[in-house]
Amino acid sequence: MAFGKIKRSSELFKQAWVVLKSDPALMLFPILSIAATLAVVASFAVPVLLSDDLRAAFSDLSESSRASRHGEEAAEATSSGGAQLTAVAIMFAFYFATSFVTIFFNAALLGAADRKFRGESGGVRDGIAVAMTRLPQILGWTLVSAVIGTILRALEERVGLLGRIVIALVGVAWAIASYFVLPALVIDGLGPVAALKRSASVIKQTWGEGLVLATGFGIAGILVSLLTIGLIIVGVIAGVVTQSIAIGVIIGGIGVLALIAWMIVASTLRSIVQVALYRFATDGVVPNGFDTAAMHAAFAAKKK
């Protein structure tokens, strides 16, 4: 049964690849997302690095977390509750800002892919226009994601190993349940709560087809990461042996570029398949570029 799911998912992957090859411009959305995320990270990191008070606030928060894990009194581990609140507020704002950027451009990609499936233009402007029309829903889901992320992170920093494992499992469950939230937001214009319910419903209908795809991408990502690390190590060794920094930088750079390229391609393919599965699950439409048999096969177990 598991092998059957993997086989069906590989077919969907191949068809998504054909769709992507027909319109490589879809990969511009992840690139824009990465660039915008880096800009947001810099906007938060620079003030923290330049401010002694902010660095102290995060130091106090870290010490308080360590004290909580070891059962010490919080008052002994921190000098200012106000500083901790400042650090938590900044952390939440950071989660919100980075989540918004990622969600917005993912929504734009989903919107562009959906337009393409319906035979309409699906360029960058079209995708961003779709995302802008769903801005209230995107902001609502960003808030939910930021709150959940902040809570899980805060709990993770205050519990032991067993607690971290439990929290990690909760995080996985959350990721599975929310897998189709963005398509529900973008395509149907649902609010965060309704979209989460719709996502859980579609997950049940596909019997984890989207999950298998996500797992497959994750495993591939690990392999690419290992390849990248290997190339960097080879680059360092080659640089030392040949006494050439340039050779080491070139080989290591190839690995880094390979990782970035995979992130971009994987993100785009995942979004294409998400839209295709969601469309078929909700209205029975087989998107252009996908095979009818492959779509039916993805839902065959449910129909039995």
Most trustworthy range by pLDDT among 32-36, 88-92, 247-251, 292-296: 32-36
Widest Cα–Cα separation across the chain? 64
Q: Map out the domains of the chain as residue ranges.
A: 2-303
Contact predicate 214/13, CB 8 Å: no
Q: Which amino acid is at 101?
A: V
The pLDDT of residue 187: 93
pLDDT in tens, 178-215: 888 999 999 999 999 999 999 888 877 665 555 555 55
* Pairwise CA distance, residues 252 & 243, whole Å: 15
Confidence of residue 18 (pLDDT cuts 50, 70, 90): confident
- Residue 66: pLDDT above 60? no
The pLDDT of residue 78: 45
pLDDT in tens, 128-184: 999 999 999 999 999 998 888 878 777 776 667 777 787 788 877 788 788 889 999
The pLDDT of residue 281: 83
Q: Which amino acid is at 39?
A: A
Crossing angle, helix 245-283 and helix 181-188, to 10 degrees? Answer: 60
How much is the average pLDDT of 2-14? 65
Confidence of residue 304 (pLDDT cuts 50, 70, 90): very low
- Neighbouring C-alpha atoms within 13 Å toward the C-beta of 34: 14
Please give the distance of CA 171 from its chain centroid, rounded to a whole number: 13
How much is the average pLDDT of 106-115? 94
Q: Which of 15-19, 157-161, 242-246, 265-269 has the lowest mean pLDDT?
A: 157-161
Q: What is the CA radius of gyration of the chain?
A: 22
**Which tokens go with 176?**
């599975």
How much is the average pLDDT of 280-292? 82
Place of tokens 């395509």: 187
- Residue 22: pLDDT above 50? yes
The pLDDT of residue 69: 52
- Residue 77: pLDDT above 50? no
